[in-house]
Structure 1
Amino acid sequence: MFTGIITDVGRIASVTEIPAGLRTRIDTLYDPEGIDIGASIACGGVCHTVTARGQGDTGNWFEIESAAETLRLTTVGAWQPGDRVNLERSLKIGDELGGHVVQGHVDGVAEIIARQDHPDSVFFRFRVPQDSARFIAKKGGVALDGTSLTVNEVEGDTFTVFLIPHTLTATTWAERGVGDKVNLEVDMMARYAARLAEYR
């Protein structure tokens, strides 16, 4: 379980094909001694299990493995060495819930179709898959590349958000532009509400 508050921006060190999918090594500021093998870390918003960790010439690192379903639903398969990725450690009892409840279970990929830079914010418009659009509501929460954001406006299969300067500097969002794909996780409560409505 996560909050969508990014605590480090890692860098992809290597990507290796394995029988199950891909193994990715990520350079990080996290202390590897404080990461258990089997711990969960949200990488670009996708919950992954740590399979190895250590220190090397480039500093601290950890490794994750991504199976076929993850590669199909997310942007993980497109990661290349040198790419930067938003990271968040899983919640501990007593941690502040500063964003919203994020599971790291990505629903699909959203595409940036507009970006406008303003003095005190940056405006983004996204297009989402039709089967995810119904879960996105004005003033509701959404996780994009692991970042907890508030939806500004919704129109059909598109929605908008405004990002403040702190978010731009603390995450990978300053690097994002039109045409980029980002991992989308809809609000958990919206998903359950829709399921209950189906049963009625």
Structure 2
Amino acid sequence: MIKKMTFSVLSACVILSSVPLANAEASTASIDASSKFSYTSQLGKEVLNIDGITYTVDYNYTEDNTTAVITNTLDNSIEIVSYDLTNSTIYYNGKAMSTNGNDRLNALSTQNFAVKADDDFKSIQTGSEKITWAKGITVAALAVMIAVPIAGLGSPGVIAAMGLSGLATIAGGAIGGTVNWDYQRMIIPFVPPIHRYVWSFTASTGDYYGTYIYQP
């Protein structure tokens, strides 16, 4: 079943709920109360509470790599997601889990992106990341995997957009998927440029999630 959401409401949700990790101050939010999800986020760290289980996500940034260590505080199990910027490859527990990271899309199909750059926003870069994962991956780790190619989005932004139930379905019923994004800029005289990501996720089952907007 293809998941569809109202653009205007979802855009606000993603923009307000996503915390750019590179320059974030501490914040707290509760999202999707029916699924019992809340989080706190500050520079380099996220704390996710998903259905009563608390996960800490600790980020380490270098010039060419982002690494996230996801710890389940209930049983102290650890998952590690890293993103190598030199070859645009995502790793899960040390194993490469993505391909085609450097493939640039010549055009965005209307099937994959309902929101295109308009007269105000101009597309400056598009890309995709095809990822896979092992059975048993947690929703927290999957959210991080989807988030890392999009600078600053963070796992709370992915959960806010796609929902816990959607991510749980993907984690349990799919073996991979593709993150597509379009990085856009709007120029307004006498003010700094405004940037945003338009992104979506297509699971290996064919289910489509999007289109979402994240504004750093």
Same fold by TM-score, threshold 0.5 exceeded?
no
Tell me which of the two structures has the higher relative contact order, counting C-alpha pairs closer than 8 angstroms and 6 or more residues apart: 1
- TM-score, normalization by structure 1: 0.24
